[in-house]
Chain A
Amino acid sequence: MSATAVRRTRRDPLEVPLKVSFPFWVIGSLLLVLFPIYLIFMVSFAPGSALFGERPALVVTNFTLRWWREAFKAGGLISPLQKSLVVASATTLLAIAIAAPAAYVISRLRPAIRYTIVIGLLVTRMFPEFTIGISVATRFAKFGLLDDYLGVILAHLIGSLPFIAWILVGTFETIPIDLEEAAQIDGASRLGTLIRVVFPVAAGGIAVASLFVWLYSWNEFLYARLLTTNQLTLPLKVFQAIDRGTKQEMATIAAILTLPILLVVYFLQRYLRPGALTGAVKG
């Protein structure tokens, strides 16, 4: 007893430095993560004069809505915005329609087979998008799917299906099979059980999975680039502004692309778990 007591009272050499540096540690983390977000919005509202000079000011005092107005007026933002919205929404609906029934079946297979299929699906994600995209884009060009909503939707399904199927298998696994058996004893058909019992119980998981697919498609750049020559999506529009626009134009379009994501993530934080997340937000 006395030996431990002596050890415990001995001063830990890191105690004081940790205590002193801790607030700076937290503030530093906040600055590192949030400063770039602040910058995007700040620049998009800054009057042109605020950004000139060798060392632009970190804080802008007089704001202007000019760049946001111009982006929508002359920037031709409506068409990319519409394309991104339609593509992301259609990709999400199709991904759920294709992946949810399949994930249900996979979740009811024997564990060995189930894990083989899930790992097989995830292995497809190890390939560079280019390895898939080069062939896909060459073929799509022949079918006239370049500069077309459908082409990008099909390509975004490639990226999202394995991932969403993986999440949903996890969701369906947690639904007890007794629930289905009870419904079937009550006379429900297998399809009826699936639609009226299993899917409603899994609604939370399906909603989160949909969100990830929507965000993936909204952010996706590479496939869109390979399948587009002039009908841009919003991320491609950001790149166009990086390439040949002004700072404010770039910041404004980037802000418009980012805003829905910030809102969605803020309101859905409690659903975010590392396991469900790591594959969704990709490079």
Chain B
Amino acid sequence: MGGWFRKHTFELVLIAPLVLYVLILTVAPIIDTFRLSFSSPRGGFGTVGSYDFIFKDNVFRRAVVNTLIVALLSLALEVGVGLAIALALHVKFKGRGFVRTVLLVPLGVPTIVSGAVMLLIFARSGYMNSVLGLFTGLIDKIPGVHLTWTNVSWTAAGGTRTILTYAIADMWKVLPIMTLIFLAGLQSIPEDVYEAADVDGATKWQRFLRVTLPLLIPYFTMALILRAIDAFRIFELALALGANEPVLGTYIGKRYLAPTNDPFTAAAASIVLFGIIMLFIVLYLRFVARFQVQR
């Protein structure tokens, strides 16, 4: 054993800082938060008081439901729109290189900036109403058609409309990455598969449904799993766009930070969030596995 250590001193010295860092500042805190979630403020471990408290809390329940809706909605939106943009960029057309470059530029835009800009767009006197007003104004010019748009406050309203702005903000922020993933997927499909489909007389729709989509499944999996982890953790966007429609992230933040200052219930809620993320990944992998077997 001592000989092994001596023989591999060089490797051990190189890898030790990373391993120690992850153990001390990632693994240990995770265990510590688990412990906190089962502890009570007066000391003592082994109580479910915090879980009991949050599950009885209406705000928490609402936050769980909202988180699920926002995450699933934004995943569906970003997969759909990301794929649509990737399909357009996969077609050869004049200026494609330029369009592709420009579309990828917002890639690293901070989440909080996405929140700020959606606030500009969806506020009561915001640009969404300007755009919709412009469109209805144009349609109104058609003889015999009467259409006007009444301003709507999307963010402050609460309920479905606010949830929708969360999902749109989340979608917009990740569109460049989703486009990039699906573009890579489309480029990985060999041309002769399409040629074979053409020989069989497949229509464009059949080609898309029977060739493109099944061959993209690994890319869907990659995109969905990576994004799902983030989508359920939504925090800044909900913070920026409307405090009155809670998600789990903002709920945890409210419990932990001043003036509540309660790390115990915050820890419990964060464990619930982790459980939801794991559950989604397990369910998705099961579903995809079954789907692939059936095929």
Contacts and interface: CB of A to CB of B under 8 A. Distances in A.
B201 A8 contact: yes
B156 interface: no
B270 A235 contact: no
A100 B119 CA distance: 40
Contact of B278 (A36, A39, A55, A126): A126
Q: How large is the interface on A (under 10, 10 to 19, 20 to 34, 35 or more residues)?
A: 35 or more
A210 to B, nearest CB: 14
A231 B227 CA distance: 31
B281 A131 contact: no
Given A39-B117, A283-B234, A225 B273 contact: no
Contacts of A32: 81, 172, 175
Interface in B228-248: 229-236, 239-240
A124 interface: yes
A179 interface: no
A282 B170 CA distance: 11
A128 B175 contact: no
Given A130-B252, A215-B108, A7 B201 contact: yes
Given A191-B10, A219-B108, A261-B108, A10 B133 contact: no
Nearest to A4: B199
Interface in A149-201: 154, 157-158, 161-162, 165, 190-191
A242 interface: yes
B184 interface: yes
B90 to A, nearest CB: 12
Contacts of A33: 85, 103, 106, 172, 175-176
The A interface, classified by DSSP as helix, strand, loop or mixed, is helix
A278 B177 contact: yes
B85 A283 contact: no
B147 interface: no
Contact of A269 (B17, B89, B104, B236): B104
A239 B177 contact: no
Contacts of B198: 8
A14 interface: yes
A53 B175 CA distance: 31
B25 interface: yes
Nearest to B252: A130
A281 B174 contact: yes
Given A104-B14, A134-B266, A127 B274 contact: yes
Contacts of B106: 33-34, 36-37, 262, 265
Chain B CB within 10 Å, residue with most, of A29, A154, A221, A265: A29
Interface stretch (B29-37, B51-59, B138-146, B285-293): B29-37
B112 A125 contact: no
B209 to A, nearest CB: 11
A172 B63 CA distance: 43
Given A36-B172, A124-B26, A277-B180, A221 B151 contact: no
Interface of B: 10-11, 14-15, 17-19, 21-22, 25-30, 32-33, 36, 81, 84-85, 88-89, 91, 93, 99, 101-121, 125-127, 129-131, 133-134, 151, 170, 172-177, 180-181, 183-184, 198-201, 203-205, 222-223, 226-227, 229-236, 239-240, 249, 252-253, 256-257, 263, 266-267, 269-271, 273-274, 277-278, 281
Interface of A: 4, 7-8, 10, 12-15, 18, 22, 25-26, 29-30, 32-34, 36-37, 39-40, 43, 52-58, 97-99, 101-106, 108, 121, 124-139, 154, 157-158, 161-162, 165, 190-191, 215, 218-219, 221-222, 225-226, 235, 238-239, 241-242, 247, 250-251, 254, 257-258, 261-262, 264-266, 269, 272-274, 277-283
Given A241-B116, A272-B104, 10 more contacts: A34-B103, A130-B253, A131-B273, A131-B274, A158-B21, A242-B116, A250-B120, A257-B113, A269-B101, A283-B173
Closest CB pairs A-B (n = 6):
A283-B230, A7-B201, A102-B18, A135-B29, A101-B14, A219-B110
